[in-house]
Amino acid sequence: MTIATCYLSAEGVVFGADSTTTMRVSGVGPGASAVEHHYNFAQKIFQIGENSTLALTMWGLGNLPTTSYRTLIAQFADSLVGQNVQSMHDVASRWNQFFWNAYSTEFAETLARAQSLQNQKTRTPEEQYELDYLLQAVSGGFCIGGYLSPDRIPAAFEVYFDPTLTGPGPVEALAVGSTRFWGCPNLINRLIFGLDESLFSAILRSGKWIGNEQDLLDLIRPCCLGQPRNLPIREAIDWVHASIYTTIKTMKFSHMAPVCGGPVEIAVITTDRKFRWVRHKSFDAAIGEGGLFDVYRDPG
């Protein structure tokens, strides 16, 4: 699981993410069941190419079976060299197709099974459990953003994928001045809106709510915490960091599994500069007690 976010400003794009990745590790010995391990030094923000004005962050599925995201993103960067890329939307669409080609190939059997289950008119409880597991295990998405020369207009787009799709999903643009949260947005949604999607649905299904969905939205809206639009870039960085850090700490001290954690990583692409790390783990971050705090900080 992940807490990833992107803030699109008129000054540029801010990416943020935690560093925890969850992996199912097979048990040892006859009859041993798999257990979940949480590793706290994964990377979830990547520059696309070197000396670049493009980057992406991710959530959900952590890697393909035989290809790492690091490798796939580098291959995608290579594929853009010499190409007549028209716009940031074009970049996002190219990544969407490029990723889908690899995803649908390496998960071919999984996709076939998920789509077969999805297309059944009725499913047994066991089949529904299997479909729900596949949707959870091999779904996810990306937010890709930055700018192209010579216009230098910042943009960001989100792309989703899951095993029931038969082709790349839609590419959706973020609005300037907006923030999006993915992976584990429960805390931020509760903080800003007063409740998250699961709580909202639970109220509607409870039988105790006499209004309709719009009535509940109208009741909640005045209590939402308003967010400033188009923050200055340093304030946007602060907002992204605060959101991720708060989510990590809340998950740590909650009754739920620590699916978010590790160092907070933040990167920025401003319209006058290329990709820069604001906070980034060094390669020896997992070594020694100080690893959680040994991060690179760009002074400018």
Coil/strand/helix, residue 90:
helix
Neighbours of 251 (CB within 10 A): 22
Say how far residue 103 (Cα) sits from the centre of its chain: 16
Instruction: Compute the distance between CA of residue 284 and CA of residue 300 in angstroms, rounded to an integer.
Output: 23
The residue type of 103 is: Y
**Per-residue pLDDT tens digits of the chain, which is 300 residues long:** 689 999 999 999 999 999 988 777 766 667 666 677 788 899 999 999 999 999 999 999 989 999 999 999 999 999 999 998 989 999 999 999 999 999 999 999 999 999 999 999 999 999 999 999 999 999 999 999 999 999 999 999 999 999 999 999 999 999 998 888 888 877 788 877 777 788 888 999 898 998 898 998 888 888 887 776 789 999 999 999 999 998 888 888 888 777 788 999 999 999 999 999 999 999 998 886 554 445 555 544
pLDDT at res. 73 = 98
pLDDT of residue 190: 80
pTM over 0.85: yes
d(CA 300, CA 298) in angstroms, rounded, equals 6
Cα gap 120→122, rounded to integer Å? 5
Give pLDDT, residue 250. Answer: 85
Per-residue model confidence (pLDDT) at position 221: 85
Q: What is the pLDDT of residue 300?
A: 45
